[in-house]
Structure 1
């Protein structure tokens, strides 16, 4: 176990000791459904927010590899059973038309618009994004309740924000992650990931 600020490392999982927020609970409910049907990675702003960065967000970005139509239908219908609705419509056929064209779809809880999940389909043609699935990092938030989820390697997430996204919030998110995880970041991983991410600019 390794101590650093408000987290510990337990069996290669980053454990953050705090209670769950409304946004955390929303994510927990969504992941509780989809993880039975597909792999996933939580990316972008929520990664920084979950590790203590204070800023507003109304959505959570989740990458998932393209799945078979039947599996998507089963997942879509199970989400509906659990009081999620899809911005793109109630028909799984309609939603899958977006997915097969690599267009994101969004989910929120019934009768609400926010918070929402941006569900982002990828395959091996999205090289940088697909690479993130090779070495996922587990995060566990726990106090009286627990939320465990997968994110990209921290070094990859930082570089992707700095190089590809590069907006003001993204640069600030990356700076937060660099500071928060300063004791466990590995320079060799930055060197490994940088050319992979830069390929996306070509």
Structure 2
């Protein structure tokens, strides 16, 4: 556990990148070529922070892009050996603009995959706007602010989400901004869950 630290808005992950990390790093590199704002969120952040649990997907929010950019991204992904594990990559813009997620995976592989979606609400947009950096194996990727991740996990409320929230809160309690965390707790209406989390 000592290999994971939160310092100056950077999550430092002191281990070698695993398959999920490599997927995230490679996808980030492609999005960066197009200057597309993006952020990794949800269960993957907990795993990055050392929680031992399995996941089939890496959730990534991207800023809303136009059709032409989406086509260029889809083309580049294909050239780099990715495919649409549930829908052809050529449907990327149509799917995303309809509010659907799109799966992106290395060719011939279904899991793990990236689950890509447009930022849809104030919480998605806040994750993008307030992203922090995760540093792993000499590479960096943007991840959602931990205070919002914790509050949102409490809001989702499934067992694995609550366990993710407890893991992040316990690990980073000393480094979190209590003011920011409590602001998200209030905006998501999870005050009771937060009180229980503090006692966990």
With structure 1 as the length reference, what TM-score do the two structures score?
A: 0.86
1:147 maps to which residue?
139
Q: CA deviation at 1:8?
A: 3.8
Encode CA deviations 1:9-68: one digit per residue, 9 max, x unaligned: 555322121111122112211211122221111011110001110011111000112101
Is 1:119 the equivalent of 2:116?
Answer: yes
Cα distance in structure 1, aligned partners of 2:52 and 2:162? 14
Moved more, 170-179 or 31-40: 31-40
Cα distance in structure 2, aligned partners of 1:118 and 1:91? 12
Q: CA RMSD for the aligned pairs?
A: 1.9
Residue 5 of structure 1 aligns to a residue in which SS? coil
Is 1:46 the equivalent of 2:41?
Answer: no
Gaps of 5+ in 2: 191-200
Q: Which of 21, 24, 35 is 2:32 aligned to? A: 35
With structure 2 as the length reference, what TM-score do the two structures score?
A: 0.87
2:10 maps to which residue?
13
Encode CA deviations 1:89-147: one digit per residue, 9 max, x unaligned: 4362x332111111111011111111101001124xx11211222211111013xxx23
Contact 1:88 1:95 in 2 (8 A): no
